[in-house]
């Protein structure tokens, strides 16, 4: 599928680590492709390797072997993964492949017969075994202390928190259930323990991720709550960090999540993948909640929490999408007035059931619909941001350089949404600080503001 521009893609994150190597220390490099969920896997693998005494190299030349954590969600992502593997072989020569694409080892070894080992998603032990046989460990108990928060690939003040794996749905365009299996939720106490540790170590924002966040815990046979996401959200909210919910499907019980946002326990932000608005298109996609009256749901959420920010992603040019269906989507967007949207042009993905659907939409029609969709969403974003001028908002500081402090409001998730910039009196600010800012200028996707109260 055609993607958002790279600066709006969460799936382009790469490991950026530096480490001081002690003499003779076995050292591993990591290239991490794919979505935030894959990034969490990379963090876990590196955490374990550090615990075992390995050094982490930020470049190919300093590494004894390189792990490439791949993405196989889209054909374009598969091609990118194969390219990254090829580059690692050329630059280093000793390459271990893991991640989604590793679910199909022949696909990788067919293109790159020289890889040392291929493991699938979440096969942490197998990745570690492959590393052990390629580069034996040589731990030094005096210097190889694991940082309490583990190795993090995201800035220290925010962290992804994966609460479950897999998905029980079977949307026709998606092969994630084949690659990642059925929904398997992590025990709530394990999620909470991880979250507490992160917060103790300075994390100010927890980004809750999974394939289907609102379904969290519904795979447990014995459970006290019908929808365990509600108590998990409440518990996470009590830790004092910002808690941001991603990949929340519009099930009816989301209405019970929104009051927690109105109370200020979790951020008033819902990343909710609608994908389309026409019931026939949604049916052809076999989407969960295809029949949901989403405009009514949105109105109800806004009534409970007027400040809520809604982000969503959509697919245009899905097989059989007529001009009338697409127009319904545009009209729906006009009415829904979502704050943030991403849009993909449909493309076949090997193994997806949608490939076999009749009436594929020609590329030029997809492109035209994508342009029209993005034009409308930009107008909505511009008007929504203009309405914020003059307001005082809570923001978190991400980065400070010579020019400005780059911050985010509660309406902005890192890496996929916009920013708020402060270009005067920002010098004393520190990444991770939470401050108040008065907005004095708005663009299409970003804001500019001044400090309301000095830290």
**14/39 Cα distance (integer angstroms):** 8
Residues 211-240 that bind ligand SF4 (CB under 6 A): 211-212
Inter-residue contact 424 to 449 (CB < 8 Å): no
C-alpha torsion sign, points 363, 173, 271, 209 = negative
CA distances from 449 to 51, 166, 390, 407, 409 (A): 43, 41, 9, 10, 11
Kindly state the smallest distance separating residue 73's Cβ from ligand SF4, in Å.
9
248 binds ligand SF4 (CB under 6 A): no
Q: Hey, which residues between 67 and 96 contact ligand SF4 (CB under 6 A)?
A: none
130 versus 315: smaller Cβ distance to ligand SF4: 315
As measured in angstroms, the least distance from the Cβ of 444 to ligand SF4 is 28
Of 28, 30, 66, 171, which lies in the binding site for ligand SF4, with binding defined by CB under 6 A? Answer: 171
Nearest residue (CB) to ligand SF4, 164 versus 410: 164
- Give CA–CA dist 284/317, Å, rounded: 12
Q: Which is nearer to ligand SF4, 214 or 328 (CB)?
A: 214
278-307 mask for ligand SF4 (x: CB under 6 A)? Answer: ----------x-------------------
Stretch that binds ligand SF4, among 48-56, 163-171, 371-379, 420-428 (CB under 6 A): 163-171
Number of residues that bind ligand SF4 (CB under 6 A): 10
- In the sheet with 27-32, reading across from the earlier edge strand, the strands are 55-57, 27-32, 65-70, 95-99, 117-118
By CB under 6 A, residue 313 contacts ligand SF4 = no
Stretch that binds ligand SF4, among 121-129, 170-178, 345-353, 375-383 (CB under 6 A): 170-178
Q: Does 355 engage in binding with ligand SF4 (CB under 6 A)?
A: no
Question: 175 CB contacts (<8 Å, ≥6 apart)?
Answer: 72, 73, 349, 350, 351, 352
CA pair distance 336, 309, nearest whole angstrom: 12
C-alpha neighbours within 13 Å on the C-beta side of residue 199: 18
CB 393 within 8 A of CB 420: yes
Tell me how crowded residue 289 is: count the other CB atoms within 10 A of its CB. Answer: 17
Our finding on whether 170 is near ligand SF4 (CB under 6 A) is: yes
Least Cβ distance, residue 171 to ligand SF4 (angstroms): 3
Mention every residue, 6+ apart, whose C-beta is less than 8 A from residue 128.
Answer: 45, 48, 49, 52
How many Å apart are CA 7 and CA 173, to the nearest integer?
24
Binding of ligand SF4 at residue 176 (CB under 6 A)? yes
- The mark string for 20-49 relative to ligand SF4 (x by CB under 6 A, - otherwise) is ------------------------------
Dist CA 221 CA 146 (whole Å): 36
Question: Which of these ranges, 165-173, 189-197, 313-321, 365-373, lies near ligand SF4 under the rule CB under 6 A?
Answer: 165-173
Instruction: By CB under 6 A, name the one of 33, 167, 232, 405 that touches ligand SF4.
Output: 167
- Please choose, out of 142-150, 166-174, 193-201, 306-314, the segment that lies near ligand SF4 by the rule CB under 6 A: 166-174
Residue 106 neighbours by CB distance under 10 Å? 8
Nearest to 344 by CA among 140, 82, 74, 152: 74
CA distance 47 to 30: 12
Q: Measured from the CB of residue 257, what is the shortest distance to ligand SF4 in angstroms?
A: 17
CB nearer ligand SF4, residue 171 or residue 257? 171
How far is Cα of residue 115 from the mean position of the Cα atoms in its chain? 28
Q: Which is nearer to ligand SF4, 134 or 315 (CB)?
A: 315
CA distances from 83 to 60, 70, 76, 80, 176 (A): 15, 10, 11, 5, 21
> Judged by CB under 6 A, which stretch of 36-44, 55-63, 155-163, 171-179 contacts ligand SF4?
171-179
* CB of 437 vs ligand SF4, minimal distance in Å: 35
DSSP state of 335: H
Contact status: 177 vs ligand SF4 (CB under 6 A): yes
Rounded CA Rg of the chain: 22
CB of 411 to ligand SF4, least distance (A): 23
Binding flag, residue 174, ligand SF4 (CB under 6 A): yes
Using the rule CB under 6 A, which residue among 14, 21, 44, 169 binds ligand SF4?
169
282: Cα separation from own chain's centroid: 23
Binding footprint of ligand SF4 on the chain (CB under 6 A): 167, 169-171, 174, 176-177, 211-212, 288
């Amino acid at each position: 599928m055609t993607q958002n521009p790279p600066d709006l893609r969460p799936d382009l994150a790469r490991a950026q680590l530096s480490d001081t190597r002690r003499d003779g220390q076995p050292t591993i490099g990591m290239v991490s492709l794919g979505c935030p969920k894959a990034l969490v896997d990379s963090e876990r693998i590196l955490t374990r390797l550090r615990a075992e005494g390995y050094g982490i190299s930020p470049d190919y030349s300093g590494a004894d072997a390189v792990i490439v954590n791949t993405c196989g969600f889209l054909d374009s992502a598969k091609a990118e993964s194969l390219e990254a593997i090829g580059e690692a072989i050329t630059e280093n020569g000793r390459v271990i492949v893991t991640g989604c694409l590793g679910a199909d080892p022949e696909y990788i070894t067919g293109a790159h017969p020289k890889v040392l080992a291929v493991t699938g998603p979440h096969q942490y032990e197998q990745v570690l075994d492959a590393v052990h046989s390629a580069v034996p460990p040589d731990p030094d108990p005096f210097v190889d202390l694991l940082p309490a928060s583990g190795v993090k690939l995201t800035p220290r003040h925010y962290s992804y928190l994966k609460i479950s794996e897999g998905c029980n749905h079977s949307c026709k365009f998606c092969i994630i259930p084949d690659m990642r299996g059925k929904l398997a939720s992590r025990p709530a106490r394990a999620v909470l323990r991880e979250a507490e540790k992160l917060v103790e170590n300075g994390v100010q924002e927890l980004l809750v991720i999974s394939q289907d966040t609102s379904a969290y815990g519904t795979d447990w046979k014995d459970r006290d709550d019908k929808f365990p996401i509600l108590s998990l959200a409440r518990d996470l909210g009590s830790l004092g960090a910002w808690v941001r919910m991603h990949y929340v499907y519009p099930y009816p019980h989301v209405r019970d999540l929104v009051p927690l946002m109105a109370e200020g326990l979790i951020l008033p932000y819902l990343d909710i993948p609608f994908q389309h608005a026409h019931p026939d298109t949604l049916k052809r996609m076999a989407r969960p909640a295809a029949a949901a009256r989403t405009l009514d749901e949105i109105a109800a959420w806004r009534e409970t929490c007027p400040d809520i920010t809604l982000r969503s992603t959509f697919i245009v040019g899905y097989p059989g999408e007529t001009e009338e269906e697409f127009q319904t989507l545009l009209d729906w967007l006009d009415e829904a007035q979502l704050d943030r949207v991403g849009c993909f042009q449909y493309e076949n993905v090997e193994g997806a059931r949608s490939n076999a659907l009749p009436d594929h939409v020609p590329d030029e029609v997809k492109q035209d619909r994508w342009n029209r969709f993005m034009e409308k969403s930009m107008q909505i974003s511009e008007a929504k941001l203009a309405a914020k001028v003059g307001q005082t908002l809570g923001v978190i500081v991400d980065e400070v350089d010579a020019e400005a402090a780059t911050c985010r409001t509660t309406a902005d998730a890192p890496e996929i949404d916009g920013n708020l910039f402060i270009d005067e009196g920002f010098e004393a600010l520190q990444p991770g600080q939470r401050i108040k800012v008065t907005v004095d200028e708005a663009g299409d996707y970003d804001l500019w503001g001044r400090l309301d109260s000095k830290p």
